[in-house]
Amino acid sequence: MSVAFDVRVDPPYPVRIGPGVAADVAAYVPGDAAILEDANVATPHGDAVAAALEAAGRRVVRLPIEPGEVSKSVATWESLLRRLAQVPFDRSVTIVAVGGGVTGDLAGFVAATYLRGVAWVNVPTSLLAMADAAIGGKTGLDLPEGKNLVGAFWQPRAVLMDVGALATLPDAAFREGLVEVAKHGLLADAALLEAVLDGTFGPDADAAAWTRWVAASVRVKADVVAADARETGGARATLNLGHTVGHALEAASGHALTHGEAVAWGLLYAAHLTHLHLHPETDGRDAARRLVRRVAPSPPPDVAWSDLQAYLRRDKKNRGGRIRWVMAPRPGAARVVEDVPAAVQEAAWEAFVEDVATLRDVRAVDRPERDGGA
């Protein structure tokens, strides 16, 4: 069983979701291939992609990168460009990303900038990447001053989401990916949100269920991207629900918090801010608390609201020095809000801190880790 549909940008590109779809990678790589792979997934995922390409007669060069956010750097980007030039590869090369969100962000930016732009194919191996980062064509690098401050919009030729890779994920990594799935549920799909919160979509589901729920999450993002491919309107900014404070916490922790953990806490803050600013009839704070309990993130750094301001001021959604907050009082009603008084922002932080104190023991929840990695 697999699901296929196009992301309706210009030009459109296919997304295929299901067990075994990565074996068809050669159909999207007409010539030479440079596989940019997270070293943690070189075996078995990188091996399988390389074997499929070589069996189809493609010349393959494999470029492993160090796992984690550290690889989204100017230094790593330069090193990869020089490796490509030393082969040398011409404009007919296709960059194939095999790994999680970091790998896709980096590979896409390498593709966007090598010889002024070459094709790339994304083969995400983590739930976090499948549910979110692999769709939309956002590529980029981090700077010491903040995440994703260097980048380009560069759409892939195809995205192949082999849900069989999810079986190799440690439980903590699977739960991290569930955060972005839940975010898409909060934005537009109440059934998807509930599937995360009640455990229907989890590491113990089968391949058919993984395919169904990953596809539901991807469709939410794909629809938003199609409406606002380059984030020139307000629609695409709503995908950053939970990310404003989430990115700030991630940076303030020195990336000790993973992206998914930080966004989980960011969604809880966003729920408090939405409640205080919009006074919605549908209160999203309980869902956010349930999500934190479900994914059991590490506690956020113990920082004051004033200490987060430098990070918040660098948020990519900001316009004219004003922070643009994403609020989702209920699925289907997300919007970007600029006129949030500073006192309300700080009051939401105080309520958030009280919740964190109550939820600090979430790591004690008994969820045995599984072996493996992606």
322 DSSP 8-state letter: B
**b/e per residue 22-42 (b: at least 16 CB within 10 A):** bbebbebbeebbbbbbbebbb
Residue 372's pLDDT is: 37
- Cα atoms in the Cβ-side hemisphere of radius 13 Å centred on 157: 19
Q: What residue spans in the chain does CATH classification 1.20.1090.10 cover?
A: 231-364
Considering only CA atoms, which of 137, 77, 85 is closest in space to residue 115?
85
Which two structure tokens, joined as six digits, stand for 3?
């699901």
**Helix axes 259-278 and 285-295, enclosed angle (nearest 10):** 170
Cβ atoms of 38 and 99 closer than 8 Å: yes
Length of the chain: 374
| pLDDT tens readout for residues 41-97 | 999 999 999 999 999 999 999 999 999 989 999 999 999 999 999 999 999 999 999
| pLDDT tens readout for residues 258-280 | 889 999 999 999 999 999 999 88
Considering only CA atoms, which of 39, 44, 37, 36 is closest in space to residue 20?
44
Which two structure tokens, joined as six digits, stand for 22?
């990565």
Whole-Å CA distances, 325 to 21, 193, 199, 315: 37, 21, 29, 10
299 DSSP 8-state letter: P
The verdict on whether omega for the bond into residue 64 sits within 30 degrees of 0, i.e. cis, is no
| Angle of CA points 14, 19, 24, to nearest 5° | 50
State yes or no: pLDDT of 121 exceeds 50.
yes
Residues noted as catalytic? 116, 138, 180, 221, 231, 236, 240, 243, 247, 259
Q: What residue spans in the chain does CATH classification 3.40.50.1970 cover?
A: 3-184
In terms of Cβ atoms closer than 10 Å to its own Cβ (0-12, 13-18, 19+), residue 82 is: exposed
Domain 231-364 has CATH 3.30.70.240: no
The amino acid at 253: S
Residue 216's pLDDT is: 97
Range scoring the smallest mean pLDDT among 213-217, 249-253, 341-345: 249-253
Cβ atoms of 29 and 121 closer than 8 Å: yes
State yes or no: pLDDT of 370 exceeds 80.
no
CATH of domain 3-184: 3.40.50.1970
Name the pLDDT band for 159 (thresholds 50, 70, 90).
Answer: very high
